[in-house]
Amino acid sequence: MPPPEIVTKPLLHGIQTLRGIFAVLVVCHHMGVHSARHWTHDWLGGIFNDSTFRVDFFFVLSGFVLWAAHRSDAGAPAATRLFLRRRFWRLYPLLIALSLFKVLLLCVVPGRDINFTQVFCSLLALPQSSFPLIVSAWTLSFEMYFMVLLALCLALPRQWVLQTLLALVALLAIAGVLLDIRPSISGAGFFTHPFILEFAAGVVVAECIRQRHSQLWGMLGCGLALLGLIFSAFQHDWLSDQPVIWQKLFWAAVFALGIGGMVLWERSCAVECWWLRDHWYLGRASYSIFLSHGIVLMAFFDSLNPQLLGSNPYLINLFFLLVVAVAVLFGLVVYRWVERPLTRWCKSLGRVSPGIQRTPAPQIPLS
């Protein structure tokens, strides 16, 4: 039996730190896309422009956190309703606040139109054929979708919850392949999108390593995940040519190994000896960074003339790096002055219960 401090550690610092790292990588990805689109410049050689593996990480992590935190709620319909309420009040307030702020910005920016259908769908994180007002929030539609699937399964008898959830996810993904439904962010392709396999991978790894610890297996899992990332960097074109379902299965395996390995490794260490920590609050602020950075990028690219920096690629690269830093700092400000007050306000209204969590679980807010 491991020491009590290993099993009941209230916060998994490694996972929290990874959240911050991947949130910054999302900002870098969008900077690369914006610089190529608006300034026809490949920022840092275009290394951040391709692949969606950054959001793939968050999908696997969400499945891991949801199952680790709410596995004990299986078979309790009342707990299931509370689970949905807590998750909705965790994700929606900041999304609504930033979406309304984006609407105000669009009202004062010349040449920008406001589509009220898009506004409505964006506020509720509903699937839509175009990107929402907060572009990166398209992932929240999948987040809500999987949360509903999980909630429905949690209401079943405890012994059937995990099997039913995994079978349902597999049937949806297989149906998408057999019926030749193209994966998309709306329509039938939304419900059968292989992204749900990544959520399921997070659930599986959370169940497999429940209350386990092993430095050796943890380091092995992290090492295999790192090899997967290196392989994808050198074989990016080959990986991109594969069917979407195989791409998502690849990333599901890579990040499940990485997340599971990181947790096993950290649990094997004494709290004071763990080396990977969220020193700059990037992990805790990752949801704010994830949702708010697009506003900063929009402001820069709408207000600045590319000719101001001339044609020196090094100067342009340095300037864009500064913009990324500003976007991250803006996310930290949003976390401190918007997300945290909104969370406290929701709790003060009694909307979010202190919790029904009955087994040790990583207390990590969802991204």
State the angle between helix axes of 161-178 and 195-208 in degrees (0 to 180), rounded to the nearest 10: 150
Residue 94 CB partners (closer than 8 Å, separation 6+): 287, 288, 291, 334, 338, 339, 342
Judge contact between 84 and 225, C-beta under 8 A: no
Residue 367 lies in a domain: no
Our count of domains for the chain comes to 1
Residue 263 lies in a domain: yes
Which of 332, 338, 339 has its CA nearest to residue 296?
Answer: 332
Indicate if the pLDDT at residue 194 is higher than 50.
yes
Residue 152 lies in a domain: yes
- The model's pLDDT over 10-33, given as tens digits with 9 standing for 90+, comes to 468 999 999 999 999 999 999 999
Residue 360 lies in a domain: no
User: Read out DSSP for 310-344?
Assistant: TT-HHHHHHHHHHHHHHHHHHHHHHIIIIIHHHHH
pLDDT at residue 77, as a whole number: 82
Q: What is the mean pLDDT of the chain?
A: 88
Indicate if the pLDDT at residue 53 is higher than 90.
no
- The model's pLDDT over 239-295, given as tens digits with 9 standing for 90+, comes to 999 999 999 999 999 999 999 999 999 999 988 889 898 888 999 999 999 999 999
Indicate if the pLDDT at residue 182 is higher than 90.
yes
Is the pLDDT higher at 348 or at 67?
A: 67
pLDDT category of residue 350 using cuts at 50, 70 and 90: low
Residues 367, 354: Cα–Cα separation, whole Å? 19
Q: Which two tokens stand for residue 120?
A: 């409505």
pLDDT at residue 309, as a whole number: 74
Phi, psi of 349 (to 5 degrees): -80, -5
Indicate if the pLDDT at residue 356 is higher than 50.
no
Q: Where are the alpha helices (DSSP H) in 130-160?
A: 138-154
Task: Provide the domain limits for residue 314.
Answer: 4-348
pLDDT category of residue 169 using cuts at 50, 70 and 90: very high
Q: Is the sign of the CA dihedral 307, 310, 316, 318 positive or negative? A: negative
Long-range CB contacts for residues 220-224, cutoff 8 Å, separation at least 24: 220/261, 221/257, 221/258, 221/260, 221/261, 221/262, 221/264, 221/265, 222/257, 222/258, 222/261, 222/262, 222/265, 223/261, 224/254, 224/257, 224/261
Residue 364 lies in a domain: no
Residue 45 lies in a domain: yes
Judged by average pLDDT, the poorest of 43-47, 145-149, 356-360 is 356-360
**pTM exceeds 0.85 for this model:** yes
Residue at token pair 């219960």: 353
- Between vectors from CA 239 to CA 181 and to CA 220, what angle results, nearest 5°? 115
- The model's pLDDT over 132-166, given as tens digits with 9 standing for 90+, comes to 999 999 999 999 999 999 999 999 999 999 999 99
Mean pLDDT of all residues in 200-214? 94
Q: Which residues of 75-92 are buried (b: 16+ CB within 10 A; e: fewer)?
A: ebeebbebbbebbbbbbb
Residue 365 lies in a domain: no
Residue 176 lies in a domain: yes
Which of 53, 31, 57, 54 has its CA nearest to residue 44?
Answer: 31
In which element (H, E) is residue 60 found?
helix 53-70
Residues 254, 274: Cα–Cα separation, whole Å? 23
Residue 308 CB partners (closer than 8 Å, separation 6+): none
Indicate if the pLDDT at residue 128 is higher than 60.
yes
Indicate if the pLDDT at residue 167 is higher than 90.
yes
pLDDT at residue 113, as a whole number: 75
Indicate if the pLDDT at residue 2 is higher than 70.
no
- The model's pLDDT over 72-113, given as tens digits with 9 standing for 90+, comes to 888 888 888 888 888 888 899 999 999 999 999 888 876 677
